[in-house]
Amino acid sequence: GENVEQHPSTLSVQEGDSAVIKCTYSDSASNYFPWYKQELGKRPQLIIDIRSNVGEKKDQRIAVTLNKTAKHFSLHITETQPEDSAVYFCASGGGGFKTIFGAGTRLFVKA
Amino acid sequence: GAGVSQSPSNKVTEKGKDVELRCDPISGHTALYWYRQSLGQGLEFLIYFQGNSAPDKSGLPSDRFSAERTGGSVSTLTIQRTQQEDSAVYLCASSLRDNSYNEQFFGPGTRLTVL
């Protein structure tokens, strides 16, 4: 069945450094790749998404890249700040199929 | 406008009792998902309602779990004969269309504790 693998499970960076989270997916029909951020005790919220006709998308300090051939996509956060500390979930979907979430990455940004 | 709402926000029950969790999606959203999130863990998919199609129940962990969506709006997740391992936060999410191209809006969740 469909599967999304996410790495690393935990990531600790110094404030100001970059953080990269990587995901792979199995369903070649997937064409929509959202990323959600879940702060402690709160609900997940969409922070950025990318569709398969685009290789990269940026929004201020956040960028996502997609390699459809390799079925990889990544989240890049630059100039990390303590408020970036949260759990980040990647997901894949589209094509009429349900969205499948990765297991999550717990990001710690040390001040 | 109003977001996704869930009730109750917290539910404490005794092992063996049945519980019903409610989700009110955003008006007009045709897709609705239920997830389970244990402490510090990821989002475990439970069930997916897509418009008028038969729901995708492939994530339900046992036959003690069931869900329905009446009139294409409100959904109820029922857990029969609850067990301690059912303790978790149950999250509901809805999205505008059923082609998965759209943002899922999550509710605040129901924290279920089975004693």
pLDDT score, position A52: 85
For A42, residues 6+ apart whose C-beta sits below 8 A from its C-beta are none
Collect all residues of chain B within an 8 Å Cβ-Cβ radius of residue A97: 100
For B71, residues 6+ apart whose C-beta sits below 8 A from its C-beta are none
Spatial distance between the Cα atoms of B95 and B50, rounded to a whole number of angstroms: 10
pLDDT tens digits, one per residue of A14-43: 999 999 999 999 988 888 999 999 999 999
Number of H helices, E strands in chain B: 0, 10
Spatial distance between the Cα atoms of B62 and A37, rounded to a whole number of angstroms: 29
Instruction: Please give the residue that has the higher pLDDT: either A98 or A103.
Output: A103
Of A18, A5, A1, the C-alpha closest to A101 is: A5
Picking from A44, A94, A101, the nearest residue to B99 by CB comes out as A94
Task: Inform me whether the pLDDT recorded for A95 exceeds 70.
Answer: no
pLDDT score, position A46: 95
Assess contact for A6 and A22: CB atoms under 8 A.
yes
Nearest CA in chain A to B105: A45
pLDDT tens digits, one per residue of B63-112: 999 999 988 799 999 999 999 999 999 999 998 875 656 789 999 999 99
The segment with the largest mean pLDDT, out of A28-32, A91-95, B26-30, B106-110, is B106-110
Q: How many CA atoms lie within 13 A of A4 on its CB side?
A: 28
Is the torsion defined by CA of B30, B113, B14, B59 positive or negative? Answer: positive
Smallest CA–CA distance, residue B35 to chain A, in Å, is: 10
